[in-house]
Structure 1
Amino acid sequence: MAALFSMVAFSIDSILPALPQIANLLVPDDINKAQLLISAFVIGAGLGQLVFGPLSDSMGRRFSLSMGMLLYMSAAFAAFWAQTLEALLFWRFVQGLGAAGPRSCGLAMTRDLYDGREMARVNSMAFGFFVFVPAIAPMFGQWVVLGFGWRHLFTTYILVSAAILAWVLLRQPETLPTERRRPLSPRPILAAFGVVLSTRVTLIYMGVITLAFGQLMSFITSAQQIFVDVLGAGTNFPYYFAMVTVFSAISGFLNAKLVMRVGMRRLAQAGFAVQTVLATVTLFLWWWFSPEGAWALWLFCGWATTLFFLNGLSFGNLNALAMQPLGHVAGTASAVIGALPTVAAMMIAAPVGLAFNQTPFPLLIGVTVCSTLALTLMQLDRGNNS
C-alpha cells in the first residue's frame, strides 16, 4: 500500500529540483509558471480517481490499478519528448490521471480488508513507510537532473512504476470478489456517487481533508523557492526537504499505536489545534524579528517539521473517518474522497504558491487559515468517538 500511495508523492517531489532548469528552458520570462507542473499533475490525480474508483468497483482492483499504471507510464514517455511548457503540462496532467489508479485502488483494497480504527492503523503504518518517499524524492530527482538531465526524470517514473506494478501483480491478491462487483453503467455509478455525497459525516471529513491537503500542497509548491531564494539553501535544498519530511514517518507509526486507544477523531483534531498555534507563532516571529541567515533557516525548518509530523496524525485517520460508512461502495467512495478534496486543495495551494513574494508569509498565512478552518469543521462531528 505504501508503494502504491507513493506514486503521487514521488512524481511531485522528485521534480522539484528540476523546476529552475525547466523554467529557464521553457518559460524564462515567467519562471513562477514552472510550479504549474505540480498543479497539473495533482489535478489529474484528483480527477482520475473519479474514473478508476467506479472502474475498480466493476472490474476489480488489480485490473483497474494496472490500467492506471500503464496510462501513467505512457504519459511519462510522451512528457520526455515535450518541447513546450504547454505540452509538458498536458502530459503531466495525463500522468496524474494514471497515478489515480494505484492511489484509489490502494485505498479501496484497504477498505475491502479493514474497517474503522483498524483501517486507520493500517493506513498509518503505510503512511509511516510511504513518507520516506517524499523525504528522498528531491534528492533522487536532483541526482538524476545533475547526472542525466531533467528529461530523464520521466525515464525514472517509467522504471519505478513498472517495478511497483510487477510487485503488485505478483504479491497482492484481488480483494473484491466477483459477487460484490457493481455493474459498470451510469445508473449504479450515479447511485454510488449519490450515496457518498449524501452521507453527512463523509462530507464533513472531505472538507477537512481538503484543508489538510491544501496546506500540505501549499508547502510543496512553495518549498523550492523558499529554501533556495529566501533561505539560501542552494543545492542543499533536497537535504533540508528530506530532514523536514522524514519526521512524518515517526508520526505515522505513532498514530498506528495510539489510534486504537485514543481514537481517530481526537488525534486528528489535536493535530490541527497544535498546528494552528505553531503556524500563528511562527508567522508572528517572522514578522517581528525578520530573521536572516541560519536563524531564518532553522526557524522555518523547525516549523515545517511540525507541519509534516502533525499531518502524519491526520491523513490516515481522516480517510478512515470519511470511508467508515461506505464499505459497500468502497471503490467509488475512495474515488470521490480522493478526487474532490485533491482538486479543491489545489485551489488553495496554487494561489499560495503564485503569491510567493520572497518571504514565507503567504505560506504561513495559508497554513494558519487552513488549520483553523479544519479544526472548526471537525466540531460538526462532535459526537463521534471513533
Structure 2
Amino acid sequence: MLLSVVIFVERSQYRKPINTPLLYKDVRSVSILKKRTSADGFLPEKEFIALFALMMSLTALSMDSMLPAFPNIAESLAIVDYQKTQWIVSAMVFGMMFGEIIFGPLSDAIGRKKCILIGIGIYIAGSVIALSASSIEVFLLGRVIQGLGVSGPKIASRALVRDLYKGAAMARIMSFVMMVFILVPLLAPSIGQLVMQVADWRWIFALLVFQASVAGGWLLLRQPETLTKENRIPLNRKRLIADVRIILSRRDVMALTVLLGCIFGGLMLHISTAQSIFQDVYQTGDRFPLYFALLAIGSSVISFSNGKIVQRVGMLRCVIAALSVLLATSLVLLLSAFYFDGVPPFVLFMGLGMIMFSCFGMVFGNVNAMAMEPLGKMAGLGTSVISSLSSFIAIVFSTFIGQFYHFTVTPLASGFVIFSIMALVMLRYGYRYSQRYVEE
C-alpha cells in the first residue's frame, strides 16, 4: 500500500519541475571510493562490520529486550500503577537525550575510540545499577545512566565509519549494518523472553553487560583510532554555543526536528505499551515476541529498500506518501477502536499496524537526511542537536499520551493520529522556510 502511494505521488503534481531548496533536494553526488585494508593498520572489512554492528545494536537490545520482562520487573520492584512501567523505556531515552548532545562534540575533541570506550563504561555502570536495584527509583536511575552511556558508541561509531569510508565503500558498510538494525528489533523481545524462561529479569541486564564488555574489549584491542590529533577540534564553549544557536535558528531544520520527535514519540508509545496490548488486551501469551516482530517486518523491509525508492521518486515525495498513509491508517485504527469499545479485532490491528510501521521505516532515514543537508560543516554537531531535541519531544509526547492507556488500543491510535497530523504540518512549515533561505 505504501509503495503504491509513493508511485502515485511520483506521478502527481509533485513530479513537475520545481525550484526545490537544498533541504528537499536529492543530492546524488558520486564520492571517491576510499577503502581501508588490514595492510594499512585497520581492521579487515568483515571484522569491522561485525564490531560496528555489535556496538550499534546495544541501543535496540537495551529497549526491546526489556518488553517481555515488564510484568516481572513491576512485580519485583512493587510497581502498582502500570503507567510507571512505561518509564522503563522513557528513562533510557531521557539519558540518551543528554548523551547525544555531549558525545558529538566530545568525539571530535578526544577521538572516536576514547569516546566509545567512555560511553561503554558508563553504560555498564548503569546496567549494573539497574540489575541490582530493589526500588523503581534506583532502577530508573540505572536506565538513565544506560541511555547516557549508550550514546557514546551510538554517536561516535557513526563518525568512525565516516572517517574510514567514503562513497560506495561507506554505502556497502552501512547496508550490512542496516541488516543488523532490521534483525535486532525483530529478535530482541525473543531474546528477552528466552532469558526469562531460564532466569530472572536481572539476567537480561547481565547479558547486556556481557555484550558491552565484549564490544569494548574488541574495540580496545583491535580498532585503531581513526581521528588523528591534527584533525581534532578542541572543545570551545563559545564556539559550541555559537554553532548551536545557528542550528537552532534554522526554522526549516527545527521543523524537521519536531517532525522526527513526533514520529519517534509514536514509536516510543508503541514500545511502551506493546507488551500490555499483546499480552493483556489480546491475550497472546508467549507469542508476543512473534507478533511484535511481525509488526516490525514492514518497517525493516522499507528501511532496507529505501535507498532504491528515494533514487526514483525523491526524499520529499517519499515522506509525504509515508505520512499520508500513516495518518489514513491511524484514523482507520482509531475509528475501529471507537466502534469495538477500544479493542479492534486482532487481525485488523495487526494489518493496520504493519502498514503504519512500514511508514515509520520510510520517514526516519529520509527526514534525518533532509534535516542534515543545510548544516554543511556543522553536520556532526547538528546530528547531536537534532537527536537530542527529537528525543526530548518524543519523551514529552509519548509519556503524556501513555498516561491515558488503560488496556485499550484507543490511546495508541489517538497518539498516532495526533503525531501524523503534527508531522505533516511540520513538513509543510519546514518546506516553506527552506524556500525562504534559498531566496535570501
TM-score (norm 2): 0.80
* Alpha-carbon distance in structure 2 between the residues aligned to 1:89 and 1:62: 28
> What residue in structure 2 maps to residue 165 of structure 1?
216
Q: Quick check: 1:118–1:260 contact (8 Å CA) kept in 2?
A: no
Change in Cα spacing, 1:191 to 1:85, as seen in structure 2 (3 Å) is same
**Does structure 1 residue 315 correspond to structure 2 residue 378?**
no
Residue equivalent to 1:242: 293
| 2:251 corresponds to 1:183 | no
Q: Does structure 1 residue 330 correspond to structure 2 residue 404?
A: no
Determine whether 1:62 maps to 2:113. Answer: yes
Q: Deviations over 1:110-162 (max 9, x none)?
A: 66678999999986764443032111111100111221110111111111223
The match for 2:350 is 301
The structure having more radius of gyration, on CA atoms, is 2
Task: Report the aligned-residue RMSD.
Answer: 2.7
**Aligned partners of 1:261, 1:173: CA distance in 2, in Å?**
38
Q: Taking structure 1 as reference, are residues 313 and 372 closer, same or farther at Cα in structure 2, changes over 3 Å only?
A: same
Q: Distance in 2 between matches of 1:266 and 1:4?
A: 33
Q: How does 1:81-100 map onto structure 2 within 5 Å? A: 81-100=132-151
The code of the aligned residue for 1:104 comes to I
Q: Which residue of structure 1 aligns with residue 6 of structure 2?
A: none
Name the TM-score, length of structure 1 as normaliser.
Answer: 0.90
1:227–1:237: 8 Å Cα contact kept in structure 2? yes
Match 1:219 to one of 270, 280, 291: 270
2:69–2:193 contact (8 Å) kept in structure 1: yes
Q: Does 1:149 align with 2:149?
A: no
CA distance in 2, matches of 1:262, 1:187: 42
Equivalents in 2 of 1:7, 1:54: separation in Å? 21
> By how many angstroms is 1:2 displaced?
4.8
Matches of 2:102 and 2:273, distance apart in 1: 30
1:341 aligns with 2:390: yes
CA distance in 1, matches of 2:340, 2:181: 36
Q: For 2:125 and 2:176, how far apart are their aligned partners in 1?
A: 31
What is the one-letter code of the residue matched to 1:27?
A: A
Query: C-alpha distance in 2, partners of 1:124/1:42?
Result: 25
Q: Which moved more, 1:33-42 or 1:168-177?
A: 168-177
**Kept in 2: contact 1:213–1:341 (CA 8 A):** yes
1:332 alignment partner AA: L
CA contact (8 A) 1:120 1:259 kept: no
**Conserved? CA contact 1:124–1:252, under 8 Å:** no
The structural deviation recorded for 1:184 is 1.4
- Hey, what does 2:88 align to over in structure 1? 37
Which amino acid in the other structure matches residue 374 of structure 1?
Answer: A
CA distance in 2, matches of 1:324, 1:117: 19
Separation in 2 of the partners of 1:81 and 1:244?
33
Q: Any gaps of 5 or more consecutive residues in structure 1?
A: none
Secondary structure of the corresponding residue to residue 382 of structure 1: helix
Q: CA deviation at 1:172?
A: 6.0
Task: Work out the percentage of aligned pairs sharing the same amino acid.
Answer: 37
Moved more, 193-202 or 51-60: 193-202
Q: Given that residues 277 and 408 in structure 2 are in contact (C-alpha distance below 8 angstroms), is that contact kept between their aligned partners in structure 1? A: yes
CA distance in 2, matches of 1:38, 1:291: 24
Unmatched segments (≥5 aa) in structure 2: 1-51, 436-440
